[in-house]
Structure 1
């Protein structure tokens, strides 16, 4: 193995693999260093992959990639202790080409993606930890790995090592230690079920998929969500909550939250008879635009989760990761052509992100996390209130509807004043508008 490359990529998640694929296709000498046994082993993403940003890297990837199901229905459940209020959208068009998104199992998909990257000419080494940078004076010229004689040199290093990037901290791109309110801990189980049962329980035809996001009692009213995604013959079931709020619930661990969600009367029948065959836990970025590190310096770029590129409001992370990897590759290709790897040249990467949906969306929602963290009743009081209101209104007991409406309003305002409700509506409009 040569110890000098054009580009070193640290991490073989979606952003790192996207960058590696595009760079290798351009004939550049690329090495990807992954600490896991193989790509995808350490990722707990629920499992939704978006077609359009992925196709920009590998056209018609779904014809050969190990995707699970094309998603035709997306639901949101507001969860109370024994009831749910359901919102959702179903489209037959999403189940036909060119599709909108798919469920995937990351251990399968990332391994396949890595094979495409290697076939394109990149070198992938696994079970290897990058410990530090190599310097020539103040200039970064490579990385040190935990392997014997493991120094690797390159003109550019792309950091795709995931949330809380220690290497980004070492070079001053990210502050030391991310605030616990900017991180979520996520856990996920893969529960096997015959595909016929999945299609029957979720009202799906062969090949179609559905997703359910759960908010409210599913996470004990903490800021976070649960999820249930349909695969070919399994379900991805998990939840994630802010670390800062989990710490406040002493004695409660993420697995207990997941088991609590699975035992809900609306969830339990969907999982009945399934067998758990995989369990994963991981940190995911929730800080958004406000928590983003500096994205570039001389000879270094930061992509994907390491750059806090995740939009939890719309469950978008993989598309931002892939797009950031693509933009990083385009920037490095231009830098290589000019022989200029300075911060000034690499700043084009951030310019590309700012012109795209990535930073436009993160800027739009930059205050959501702060507002929700300070107003936790959005995840506790309102899911309960909506469920209780509908249960009252839909109960047929010879009580006039006008009287029912008054009962509902009296009950809601006994717990939260009219003034507080108006303030909440205004806050929601401000941060989401």
Structure 2
């Protein structure tokens, strides 16, 4: 078999002995002509190898994408180059097939032969070699929390415009460390701070935004663990976890930490949250039912959330209930039910959604009766399931 230098078994063939005595440019042309068939066979073999390698990489890419991982840019570029090279090689091979070689009639295409040789050496070989350098085709990403995605249920109420603006101004004020939103259950405190977080994320106000629901039975370790996980902090033991969390929060990077549904004043040191003097770029936002809790924790930028005005309540109820409220047989029942919700957005949304497909007056009368019932029987019965879905958000 003749190698790239034109030798057979390490010795030059008689034909090549003649060619060797020719001038260098003529020698190279002679070599291209002599290895015409060999070069195309090698090209076809390498194209097949490149396709198999491409398929293997693409399988890895698909698996990584399904695992919500980000594909490395050099892998994307490699795949693009591979497709271009394969297309070029296949076109060249097809051209050869359309013009079979014929030594007697001197119809060997010198240019085709030269392209085949160079395409393998300068195109395919480097691509195959580069693929070996891919230790991984992707790297893990941090999926965006569901609450940070746009919410179709959020409505901007005119009666809250001023209050929302004050919260936003506090978020933008670097001198403000703590922000509190307080008010009775069902006002939508969680919804409001989450919307503020979404806007802050969209405007790149913070590098990281962490939302943690505290709940009534405070579990310090659980809260700390959630914060660490959402900041993607790696640790080997509890001491390292606490130390790394503290350093991350005071690192100077802008981090918004939202602690939702606080039932009692929390000693932030137990969660390893820095004090105001040592906070770096960290900012805290709380939601709670009681102003006293915020004041005990040292929060001075606190904003009260009130009930909705009557027109706002009805607009929200109508949006959530849909066209069923226009059912003639219901008469004034939709308005009566809405009024009994007391201007509380969460209750309005929950009840309206529960009645969305209920066109029979009896269902609305049951809802009205349960809304008027004294606590703790309120929201029991057929509304219990719907209401309990929202109970921990109140």
TM-score > 0.5, shorter chain as reference? no
Task: Report which of the two has the higher share of strand.
Answer: 1
By relative contact order (CA 8 Å, sep 6+), the higher-ranking structure is 1
- TM normalised by structure 1 equals 0.20
Q: Which has the larger radius of gyration?
A: 2
Task: Report which of the two has the higher share of helix.
Answer: 2
- TM normalised by structure 2 equals 0.21
